[in-house]
Structure 1
Amino acid sequence: MTFRPLLPTTVRWRPIEGDGLEHLTIAPINDTTTGATIRASGVIVGGRGGLPYGVFYRIDCAADWAVLSFSVETTDGRRLALLSDGKGHWRTEDGRALPQFDGCIDIDLYGSPFTNSLPIRRLELQSEDGTAKLSMLYIPFDSFEPVCDGQHYTCIVPEKLYRYAAQDRAFTVDLPVDADGLVIDYPIYFRRVDV
């Protein structure tokens, strides 16, 4: 069993507490230069520690959902854009290698339930597969300095429910997904809303 083929779709999530919104449009593309076949474009408005943020992002993935490039830009002009070979090797837009992120295939944007869907779609885990231990390229919106972050994913019910756990086990949550593999609700933090 696998998730259904990707159709153009738009989804939104709201924080359970406080104000904010993530608006995402995801669709097939055909970028012959990079090989990307999936593009996710979104905007996130929210706050952290009493500080508001507004962020635009674009994530391009290969057919297997490996991230090939992403750009994130705040409304106050800070920008981060990196490229990947889809196998865990990253570089800047001008070609400078970033070996400190070797092994990170997926990215995780702070405040985005969508980026949890990247490893869920890419791995297509089944219950018998056990726990996948991943290194994520994590981008916090306060510092905008990417770091490696250990995350674990386990299939509870194929194509329906996945467990996310921080590597240090300080946080664990079960994430229900829709037929596209997109997170429906992120208990404690986010809830899908009608578009």
Structure 2
Amino acid sequence: MLTSALFWQRKDTAGSEHVLVDASDGLYARGTALAVDPVPYTCRYELRTDPAWVTGFFDVVAEGAGWKRSIRLELAAGRWRATTAEQGDLDAVLSAAGHAGAGLPGTEDPDLLYGAFDVDLSGSPLTNTLPIRRLGLHHPAAGDTGVAHRVSVAWVLLPSLEIVQADQIYTALGEGRVRFATETFSADLAIDDDGFVIDYPGLAVRAGDPRPKRAD
């Protein structure tokens, strides 16, 4: 039974995320994310890492009126495998709402993800914790504050569940702050002592407790 819970309220749209976690030996998490943009959807996911916080598998199901998609991402021997399923017509739903069509779930070339050890679910503060903990940025070593760490991630887009390779940069700033950046974006995340996001400017803020117990 998972006894620790985290809840975030979205700032950029009407939505929220609730996740149950066990961080005693790496991370095991089961979460639900809701949002109304670009179309209303519910996303449910299950995530497990190894003790070093390298992602082992990531199961995601996204569903809305008239459509449902799922993916399972597994990492073994440095290579990713993606299994997908789709029901209904998300493209038609997006088009009716005045949005461009969605890409297919998954990725056409998993080899593009080679060298990625983390997943990043769009709109989810939970997945920012993966590189933060894997790199030890919640408690940076002497001399590591201000050092930028470039990582490659498997970026899972919502609601399409398309998987894209993305380069990201994480920098420990000290005093419970980590800078998250891409080539075109930067935000200073407030984190708790366990590396879980408290406040992601412009995206989400955490509410409620209890927080996960520290598991260094």
Q: Is the 8 A contact 2:74 2:80 kept in 1?
A: yes
1:142 and 1:77 mapped to 2: Cα distance? 9
RMSD of equivalent CA atoms? 2.4
C-alpha deviation, 1:188, in angstroms: 1.2
State percent identity of aligned pairs.
Answer: 32
Alignment of 1:32-181 (within 5 A): 38-49=27-38, 51-75=39-63, 76-85=67-76, 88-92=78-82, 98-125=110-137, 126=140, 128-129=143-144, 130-157=147-174, 160-166=176-182, 168=183, 170-181=184-195
2:13 and 2:159 mapped to 1: Cα distance? 17
Structure 1: gaps spanning 5 or more residues? 1-6, 30-35
Relative contact order (alpha carbons < 8 A, sep ≥ 6): 1 or 2 greater? 2
Aligned length: 177
2:75 and 2:164 mapped to 1: Cα distance? 15
What letter is aligned with 1:181?
G
Describe the SS at the equivalent of 1:103. coil
Describe the SS at the equivalent of 1:184. strand
What letter is aligned with 1:99?
D
Describe the SS at the equivalent of 1:78. strand
C-alpha deviation, 1:93, in angstroms: 5.4
C-alpha deviation, 1:128, in angstroms: 2.5
Match of 1:184 among 190, 198, 215: 198
1:79 and 1:26 mapped to 2: Cα distance? 21
Structure 2: gaps spanning 5 or more residues? 85-108, 210-216
TM-score (norm 2): 0.75
Alignment of 1:1-12 (within 5 A): 8-12=3-7
Q: Is the 8 A contact 1:88 1:101 kept in 2?
A: no
2:22 and 2:198 mapped to 1: Cα distance? 18
Counterpart of 2:95 in structure 1 is: none
Q: Is the 8 A contact 2:71 2:83 kept in 1?
A: no
Counterpart of 2:87 in structure 1 is: none
Describe the SS at the equivalent of 1:124. coil
Describe the SS at the equivalent of 1:104. coil
2:189 and 2:23 mapped to 1: Cα distance? 24
2:111 and 2:13 mapped to 1: Cα distance? 37
What letter is aligned with 1:83?
E
Counterpart of 2:19 in structure 1 is: 24
Q: Is the 8 A contact 2:156 2:162 kept in 1?
A: yes
1:179 and 1:8 mapped to 2: Cα distance? 18
Counterpart of 1:194 in structure 2 is: 208
1:117 and 1:37 mapped to 2: Cα distance? 11
Pick the structure with greater CA Rg: 2
Q: Is the 8 A contact 1:44 1:56 kept in 2?
A: yes
Runs of 4+ in 1 over 4 A off after TM superposition: none
